[in-house]
Amino acid sequence: MSELKSAGGAGFSLGGAPAFWPMAMAASLVETGLDLYAKNLRFVEEDIKLHGELRPRLATPSTVRLELRTMILREYGETTGLPTLVDAPYAGHSAMIADFQKGQSLVETLLAHGPRRVLLTDWRSATEDMKDLEIDNYLAELVAAIDDLGGRVNLVGLCQGGWMSAMIAARFPEKVNSLVLAGAPIDTDAGDGPIKRLAHETPISFYEEMVALGGGLMRGKFMLQGWKNMHPEQHYIQQHIDLYEHIDDPAYLAKEETFESWYENPLDLPGRWYLQAINQLFKQNRLAKGEFVALGRKLDLRAITCPTYLLGGLADDITTLEQVLDAQKYIGTPKDKVVRKAVPGGHIGLFMGARTLKQEWPNIARWIAAQ
Widest distance between CA atoms in the chain? 102
| H helical segments located in 114-159 | 135-148
The pLDDT tens digits for 28-70 are 444 545 454 444 444 444 444 444 445 668 989 999 999 999 9
> Residues 266-285: pLDDT tens digits?
889 999 999 999 999 999 99
pLDDT band at residue 15 under the 50/70/90 scheme: very low
> Is a pLDDT exceeding 80 seen at residue 138?
yes
Taking only the tens place, the pLDDT of each residue in 291-306 is 999 999 999 999 999 9
CB 275 within 8 A of CB 211: yes
C-alpha triplet 347, 263, 157: angle, nearest 5°: 45
Residue 250 is inside which H or E element, if any?
helix 250-263
Q: Which amino acid is at 183?
A: G
Taking 80 as the threshold, does the pLDDT of residue 9 lie above it?
A: no
- 92 phi-psi bin (left φ>0, alpha ψ -120 to 50, beta other): left
Report helix, strand or coil for 65. strand
H or E segment at 261?
helix 250-263
Q: CA 274, CA 149: separation in Å to the nearest integer?
A: 28
pLDDT at 27 over 70: no
Lowest mean pLDDT among 54-63, 110-119, 331-340, 354-363: 54-63
Does 26 score more than 70 pLDDT?
no
Range with the poorest average pLDDT among 15-24, 110-119, 224-233, 353-362? 15-24
CATH class of 65-213+269-370: alpha beta
Residues 7-26 have a mean pLDDT of 39
Kindly state the helix (H) or strand (E) to which residue 285 belongs, with its residue range: none
Q: Which residues are CB-neighbours of 275 under 8 A, at least 6 positions away? A: 204, 207, 208, 211
pLDDT at 336: 97
pLDDT at 246 over 50: no
pLDDT at 222: 77
Confidence (pTM): 0.79
pLDDT band at 252 (very low <50, low <70, confident <90, very high): low
Stretch 78-104: mean pLDDT: 91
**What's 52's DSSP letter?**
I
Higher-confidence residue of 264 and 126: namely 126
CA distance 120 to 113: 17
Nearest 5°: phi and psi at 96? Answer: -60, -20
Note the pLDDT tens digit of each residue in 207-244.
999 999 999 999 988 777 655 555 555 544 445 444 44
Query: For 231-259, what is the mean pLDDT?
Result: 52
